[in-house]
Protein backbone atom coordinates (compact mmCIF):
# COMPACT_ATOMS: atom_id res chain seq x y z
CA UNK A 1 0.00 0.00 0.00
CA UNK A 2 1.17 3.52 -0.68
CA UNK A 3 1.62 5.84 2.25
CA UNK A 4 1.14 9.50 1.38
CA UNK A 5 -0.04 11.15 4.53
CA UNK A 6 1.33 10.47 8.00
CA UNK A 7 -0.06 11.27 11.43
CA UNK A 8 2.05 11.57 14.57
CA UNK A 9 0.30 11.49 17.94
CA UNK A 10 2.30 13.38 20.55
CA UNK A 11 5.02 15.87 19.61
CA UNK A 12 7.22 15.32 22.67
CA UNK A 13 10.84 14.16 22.43
CA UNK A 14 10.11 11.18 20.17
CA UNK A 15 7.02 12.46 18.36
CA UNK A 16 8.71 15.69 17.27
CA UNK A 17 11.71 13.68 16.03
CA UNK A 18 9.48 11.25 14.13
CA UNK A 19 7.46 14.11 12.61
CA UNK A 20 10.75 15.69 11.52
CA UNK A 21 11.82 12.46 9.83
CA UNK A 22 8.46 12.31 8.07
CA UNK A 23 8.37 15.88 6.74
CA UNK A 24 12.02 15.73 5.71
CA UNK A 25 11.24 12.61 3.71
CA UNK A 26 8.56 14.54 1.84
CA UNK A 27 5.41 13.28 3.58
CA UNK A 28 2.48 15.52 4.43
CA UNK A 29 2.36 15.10 8.19
CA UNK A 30 -0.28 15.92 10.78
CA UNK A 31 1.02 16.31 14.32
CA UNK A 32 -1.48 15.95 17.14
CA UNK A 33 -0.90 17.32 20.61
CA UNK A 34 -3.13 17.72 23.65
CA UNK A 35 -2.91 21.52 23.44
CA UNK A 36 -2.05 23.96 20.70
CA UNK A 37 0.70 25.37 22.88
CA UNK A 38 2.41 21.95 23.11
CA UNK A 39 1.90 21.42 19.38
CA UNK A 40 3.59 24.75 18.63
CA UNK A 41 6.41 23.80 20.99
CA UNK A 42 6.93 20.53 19.10
CA UNK A 43 6.96 22.38 15.80
CA UNK A 44 9.45 24.92 17.20
CA UNK A 45 11.76 22.03 18.18
CA UNK A 46 11.64 20.69 14.63
CA UNK A 47 12.24 24.17 13.24
CA UNK A 48 15.28 24.59 15.47
CA UNK A 49 16.83 21.27 14.43
CA UNK A 50 16.22 21.97 10.76
CA UNK A 51 17.72 25.48 11.09
CA UNK A 52 20.81 23.94 12.63
CA UNK A 53 20.90 21.58 9.65
CA UNK A 54 20.84 24.57 7.29
CA UNK A 55 23.67 26.25 9.23
CA UNK A 56 25.74 23.09 8.97
CA UNK A 57 25.00 22.74 5.26
CA UNK A 58 23.06 19.47 5.60
CA UNK A 59 20.02 20.96 3.84
CA UNK A 60 19.15 24.20 2.06
CA UNK A 61 16.88 26.93 3.41
CA UNK A 62 14.35 26.02 0.68
CA UNK A 63 14.37 22.37 1.74
CA UNK A 64 13.86 23.39 5.34
CA UNK A 65 10.94 25.69 4.48
CA UNK A 66 9.34 22.97 2.37
CA UNK A 67 9.76 20.42 5.16
CA UNK A 68 8.21 22.67 7.81
CA UNK A 69 5.44 23.52 5.33
CA UNK A 70 4.43 19.84 5.25
CA UNK A 71 3.63 19.82 8.97
CA UNK A 72 0.15 20.72 10.12
CA UNK A 73 -0.89 20.78 13.75
CA UNK A 74 -4.06 19.72 15.47
CA UNK A 75 -5.43 18.87 18.89
CA UNK A 76 -8.06 16.53 17.43
CA UNK A 77 -7.38 12.86 16.75
CA UNK A 78 -10.26 13.06 14.25
CA UNK A 79 -8.03 15.24 12.04
CA UNK A 80 -5.86 12.17 11.39
CA UNK A 81 -8.69 10.70 9.31
CA UNK A 82 -6.85 11.17 6.01
CA UNK A 83 -3.62 9.52 7.18
CA UNK A 84 -2.36 6.24 5.71
CA UNK A 85 0.06 5.72 8.58
CA UNK A 86 -0.31 7.02 12.14
CA UNK A 87 2.60 6.74 14.57
CA UNK A 88 1.71 7.13 18.23
CA UNK A 89 4.33 8.57 20.61
CA UNK A 90 2.43 9.52 23.77
CA UNK A 91 3.49 8.76 27.35
CA UNK A 92 4.49 5.16 28.08
CA UNK A 93 1.20 4.23 29.77
CA UNK A 94 -0.83 1.26 28.55
CA UNK A 95 -4.34 2.63 29.36
CA UNK A 96 -3.50 5.92 27.61
CA UNK A 97 -2.11 4.21 24.51
CA UNK A 98 -5.11 1.87 24.36
CA UNK A 99 -7.44 4.85 24.59
CA UNK A 100 -5.61 6.61 21.75
CA UNK A 101 -5.72 3.48 19.54
CA UNK A 102 -9.43 2.92 20.18
CA UNK A 103 -10.10 6.43 18.85
CA UNK A 104 -7.60 6.11 15.98
CA UNK A 105 -9.34 2.97 14.81
CA UNK A 106 -12.66 4.82 14.65
CA UNK A 107 -11.40 7.93 12.86
CA UNK A 108 -8.98 6.44 10.32
CA UNK A 109 -9.68 4.47 7.15
CA UNK A 110 -9.81 0.67 7.58
CA UNK A 111 -6.61 0.20 5.56
CA UNK A 112 -4.56 2.73 7.56
CA UNK A 113 -1.56 1.32 9.43
CA UNK A 114 -1.53 2.25 13.11
CA UNK A 115 1.90 2.12 14.76
CA UNK A 116 3.08 2.57 18.33
CA UNK A 117 6.52 3.80 19.31
CA UNK A 118 6.32 2.05 22.69
CA UNK A 119 9.67 0.96 24.15
CA UNK A 120 8.49 -1.56 26.70
CA UNK A 121 4.75 -2.19 26.43
CA UNK A 122 3.24 -5.08 24.53
CA UNK A 123 2.22 -4.00 21.01
CA UNK A 124 -0.34 -6.83 21.04
CA UNK A 125 -2.05 -5.44 24.16
CA UNK A 126 -2.26 -2.02 22.54
CA UNK A 127 -3.59 -3.58 19.31
CA UNK A 128 -6.33 -5.41 21.23
CA UNK A 129 -7.90 -2.03 22.07
CA UNK A 130 -8.94 -1.83 18.40
CA UNK A 131 -11.27 -3.88 16.23
CA UNK A 132 -8.56 -4.29 13.60
CA UNK A 133 -5.43 -5.49 15.40
CA UNK A 134 -4.15 -6.75 12.04
CA UNK A 135 -3.45 -3.11 11.09
CA UNK A 136 -1.44 -2.42 14.27
CA UNK A 137 2.36 -2.75 14.43
CA UNK A 138 5.22 -1.39 16.52
CA UNK A 139 7.62 1.17 15.07
CA UNK A 140 10.31 1.62 17.69
CA UNK A 141 12.49 4.61 16.85
CA UNK A 142 15.61 5.52 18.81
CA UNK A 143 16.38 8.86 20.39
CA UNK A 144 17.13 11.24 18.69
CA UNK A 145 14.87 9.91 15.95
CA UNK A 146 16.20 12.17 13.17
CA UNK A 147 19.77 11.03 13.92
CA UNK A 148 19.66 7.32 14.79
CA UNK A 149 18.82 5.23 11.73
CA UNK A 150 17.35 2.13 13.38
CA UNK A 151 13.60 1.47 13.52
CA UNK A 152 12.47 -1.85 14.99
CA UNK A 153 9.33 -2.92 13.11
CA UNK A 154 7.44 -5.03 15.61
CA UNK A 155 4.94 -7.65 14.50
CA UNK A 156 2.34 -8.37 17.16
CA UNK A 157 0.58 -11.76 17.10
CA UNK A 158 -2.24 -10.44 14.90
CA UNK A 159 -0.33 -7.91 12.75
CA UNK A 160 -0.83 -8.64 9.05
CA UNK A 161 2.23 -9.17 6.88
CA UNK A 162 0.99 -6.36 4.69
CA UNK A 163 0.81 -3.83 7.54
CA UNK A 164 4.29 -4.87 8.74
CA UNK A 165 5.67 -4.50 5.21
CA UNK A 166 4.01 -1.10 4.75
CA UNK A 167 5.61 0.18 7.98
CA UNK A 168 8.98 -1.30 6.94
CA UNK A 169 8.82 0.24 3.46
CA UNK A 170 7.81 3.63 4.83
CA UNK A 171 10.71 3.64 7.31
CA UNK A 172 13.11 2.75 4.52
CA UNK A 173 11.69 5.45 2.25
CA UNK A 174 12.25 7.94 5.08
CA UNK A 175 15.95 7.05 5.10
CA UNK A 176 15.83 4.74 8.10
CA UNK A 177 17.26 1.25 8.61
CA UNK A 178 14.27 -0.89 9.63
CA UNK A 179 14.52 -4.42 11.02
CA UNK A 180 11.67 -6.84 11.76
CA UNK A 181 11.13 -8.55 15.09
CA UNK A 182 8.51 -10.19 17.28
CA UNK A 183 6.56 -8.48 20.04
CA UNK A 184 8.84 -9.63 22.87
CA UNK A 185 9.94 -7.51 25.89
CA UNK A 186 12.67 -5.03 24.93
CA UNK A 187 12.39 -6.07 21.26
CA UNK A 188 15.99 -6.34 20.01
CA UNK A 189 18.28 -3.53 21.13
CA UNK A 190 16.88 -2.86 24.61
CA UNK A 191 16.65 -6.60 25.36
CA UNK A 192 20.40 -6.81 24.80
CA UNK A 193 21.61 -3.37 25.82
CA UNK A 194 19.78 -2.89 29.12
CA UNK A 195 21.18 -5.94 30.97
CA UNK A 196 24.55 -5.37 29.31
CA UNK A 197 24.80 -1.77 30.54
CA UNK A 198 23.61 -2.89 33.97
CA UNK A 199 26.45 -5.45 34.02
CA UNK A 200 28.88 -2.66 33.14
CA UNK A 201 27.64 -0.50 36.02
CA UNK A 202 27.88 -3.44 38.46
CA UNK A 203 31.46 -4.11 37.34
CA UNK A 204 32.39 -0.60 38.55
CA UNK A 205 31.85 -1.72 42.13
CA UNK A 206 32.69 -5.42 41.77
CA UNK A 207 36.05 -4.81 40.12
CA UNK A 208 36.82 -1.45 41.71
CA UNK A 209 37.03 0.42 38.42
CA UNK A 210 36.50 4.14 37.83
CA UNK A 211 33.95 5.20 35.18
CA UNK A 212 36.84 6.68 33.17
CA UNK A 213 38.70 3.35 33.22
CA UNK A 214 35.61 1.28 32.47
CA UNK A 215 34.95 3.39 29.38
CA UNK A 216 38.63 3.19 28.48
CA UNK A 217 38.47 -0.60 28.83
CA UNK A 218 35.39 -1.09 26.68
CA UNK A 219 36.41 1.34 23.93
CA UNK A 220 39.95 0.00 23.71
CA UNK A 221 39.37 -3.64 24.56
CA UNK A 222 36.01 -4.33 22.97
CA UNK A 223 35.98 -1.69 20.25
CA UNK A 224 32.86 0.04 21.54
CA UNK A 225 32.47 3.44 19.87
CA UNK A 226 31.32 4.94 23.17
CA UNK A 227 32.06 3.78 26.71
CA UNK A 228 29.16 2.35 28.74
CA UNK A 229 29.19 5.15 31.35
CA UNK A 230 29.16 7.82 28.64
CA UNK A 231 26.34 5.93 26.96
CA UNK A 232 24.20 5.73 30.11
CA UNK A 233 24.82 9.47 30.66
CA UNK A 234 23.61 10.09 27.12
CA UNK A 235 20.51 7.91 27.48
CA UNK A 236 19.69 9.52 30.84
CA UNK A 237 19.94 7.69 34.16
CA UNK A 238 16.17 8.07 34.76
CA UNK A 239 15.27 6.71 31.30
CA UNK A 240 17.65 3.77 31.73
CA UNK A 241 16.40 2.95 35.27
CA UNK A 242 12.80 3.07 34.05
CA UNK A 243 13.58 0.82 31.09
CA UNK A 244 15.44 -1.61 33.38
CA UNK A 245 12.50 -1.80 35.76
CA UNK A 246 10.11 -2.45 32.87
CA UNK A 247 12.26 -5.24 31.43
CA UNK A 248 12.88 -6.78 34.86
CA UNK A 249 9.14 -6.74 35.59
CA UNK A 250 8.49 -8.70 32.39
CA UNK A 251 11.40 -11.15 32.29
CA UNK A 252 12.53 -11.32 35.91
CA UNK A 253 16.25 -11.77 35.19
CA UNK A 254 18.37 -10.22 37.97
CA UNK A 255 20.72 -8.54 35.49
CA UNK A 256 17.77 -6.54 34.17
CA UNK A 257 16.98 -4.90 37.52
CA UNK A 258 18.51 -1.40 37.83
CA UNK A 259 21.81 -1.47 39.77
CA UNK A 260 21.77 0.26 43.16
CA UNK A 261 24.34 2.81 42.00
CA UNK A 262 22.02 4.04 39.22
CA UNK A 263 19.01 4.23 41.55
CA UNK A 264 21.13 6.34 43.93
CA UNK A 265 22.25 8.64 41.10
CA UNK A 266 18.64 9.10 40.08
CA UNK A 267 17.65 10.06 43.65
CA UNK A 268 20.43 12.65 43.67
CA UNK A 269 19.22 14.10 40.35
CA UNK A 270 22.46 13.11 38.62
CA UNK A 271 20.67 12.10 35.42
CA UNK A 272 23.54 12.36 32.97
CA UNK A 273 24.09 14.88 30.20
CA UNK A 274 20.68 16.48 30.56
CA UNK A 275 21.43 17.62 34.12
CA UNK A 276 25.10 18.37 33.45
CA UNK A 277 26.18 15.57 35.77
CA UNK A 278 26.03 11.78 35.68
CA UNK A 279 29.05 9.51 35.71
CA UNK A 280 30.85 12.49 34.19
CA UNK A 281 30.49 16.28 34.33
CA UNK A 282 29.20 18.12 31.24
N1 LIG B 1 12.71 9.04 24.95
C2 LIG B 1 13.24 7.93 24.43
O3 LIG B 1 14.44 7.69 24.47
C4 LIG B 1 12.34 6.93 23.73
C5 LIG B 1 12.91 6.08 22.76
C6 LIG B 1 12.07 5.20 22.07
C7 LIG B 1 10.71 5.16 22.38
N8 LIG B 1 10.19 5.99 23.33
C9 LIG B 1 8.75 5.92 23.59
O10 LIG B 1 8.12 7.03 22.94
C11 LIG B 1 6.95 7.40 23.66
C12 LIG B 1 7.02 8.87 23.99
O13 LIG B 1 8.15 9.13 24.77
P14 LIG B 1 8.87 10.57 24.82
O15 LIG B 1 10.22 10.35 25.36
O16 LIG B 1 8.69 11.27 23.52
O17 LIG B 1 7.97 11.30 25.94
P18 LIG B 1 7.65 12.84 26.13
O19 LIG B 1 7.35 12.99 27.59
O20 LIG B 1 8.69 13.70 25.53
O21 LIG B 1 6.31 13.04 25.31
C22 LIG B 1 5.09 12.50 25.76
C23 LIG B 1 3.97 12.91 24.84
O24 LIG B 1 2.75 12.41 25.37
C25 LIG B 1 1.79 13.42 25.30
N26 LIG B 1 0.76 13.22 26.31
C27 LIG B 1 0.86 13.40 27.65
N28 LIG B 1 -0.32 13.15 28.24
C29 LIG B 1 -1.19 12.79 27.26
C30 LIG B 1 -2.55 12.43 27.24
N31 LIG B 1 -3.28 12.37 28.36
N32 LIG B 1 -3.11 12.13 26.05
C33 LIG B 1 -2.39 12.18 24.92
N34 LIG B 1 -1.10 12.54 24.87
C35 LIG B 1 -0.50 12.83 26.03
C36 LIG B 1 2.57 14.68 25.54
O37 LIG B 1 1.83 15.82 25.14
C38 LIG B 1 3.80 14.42 24.70
O39 LIG B 1 3.57 14.72 23.36
C40 LIG B 1 6.89 6.48 24.87
O41 LIG B 1 6.06 5.39 24.58
C42 LIG B 1 8.33 6.04 25.04
O43 LIG B 1 8.44 4.79 25.68
C44 LIG B 1 10.97 6.88 24.00
CA 10 to ligand 1: nearest atom? 39
Q: Is 119 a catalytic residue?
A: yes
Q: How many residues does the chain have?
A: 282
For ligand 1, mutation pick of 20, 90, 240 (most atoms within 8 Å of CB): 90
Q: Find out whether the beta carbon of 167 lies less than 6 Å from any atom of ligand 1.
A: no
**E-assigned strands of 142-239?**
150-155, 177-182
Q: Find out whether the beta carbon of 144 lies less than 6 Å from any atom of ligand 1.
A: no
Helix locations, 136-188, DSSP H: 161-173
Residues 245, 247, 252, 253: what is their CA dihedral angle, to the nearest 10 degrees? -100
Of the residues 119, 159, 198, 244, only one is catalytic, namely 119
Of the residues 33, 117, 140, 240, only one is catalytic, namely 140
Q: Find out whether the beta carbon of 136 lies less than 6 Å from any atom of ligand 1.
A: no
Q: What's the whole-model pTM score?
A: 0.95
Q: Is the preceding omega at residue 144 within 30 degrees of 0, hence cis?
A: yes
User: So what's the pLDDT on residue 1?
Assistant: 79
Task: Please enumerate, as own/partner, the contacts of 271-277 that have beta carbons within 8 Å and a separation of 24 or more.
Answer: 271/236, 271/237, 271/238, 272/232, 272/233, 272/234, 272/235, 272/236, 272/237, 273/233, 273/234, 273/236, 274/236
Q: Find out whether the beta carbon of 117 lies less than 6 Å from any atom of ligand 1.
A: yes
pLDDT string in tens for the chain (282-residue length): 799 999 999 999 999 999 999 999 999 999 999 999 999 999 999 999 999 999 999 999 999 999 999 999 999 999 999 999 999 999 999 999 999 999 999 999 999 999 999 999 999 999 999 999 999 999 999 999 999 999 999 999 999 999 999 999 999 999 999 999 999 999 999 999 999 999 999 999 999 999 999 999 999 999 999 999 999 999 999 999 999 999 999 999 999 999 999 999 999 999 999 999 999 999
Whose Cα sits closest to atom 35 in ligand 1? 90
How is 123-149 classified by DSSP, letter by letter? HHHHHTTSS-GGGEEEEEE-SSTTT--
Q: Is 81 a catalytic residue?
A: no
Whether the Cβ atoms of residue 13 and residue 38 lie closer than 8 Å to each other: no
Amino acid sequence: MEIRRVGVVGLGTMGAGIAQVSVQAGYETVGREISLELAERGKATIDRYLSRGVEKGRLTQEEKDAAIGRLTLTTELADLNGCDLVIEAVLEELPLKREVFAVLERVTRPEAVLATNTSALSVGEIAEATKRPERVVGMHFFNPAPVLPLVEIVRAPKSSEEAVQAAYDWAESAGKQPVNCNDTPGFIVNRILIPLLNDCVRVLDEAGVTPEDLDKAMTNGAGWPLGPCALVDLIGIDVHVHASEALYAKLGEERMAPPERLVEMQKQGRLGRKTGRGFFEY
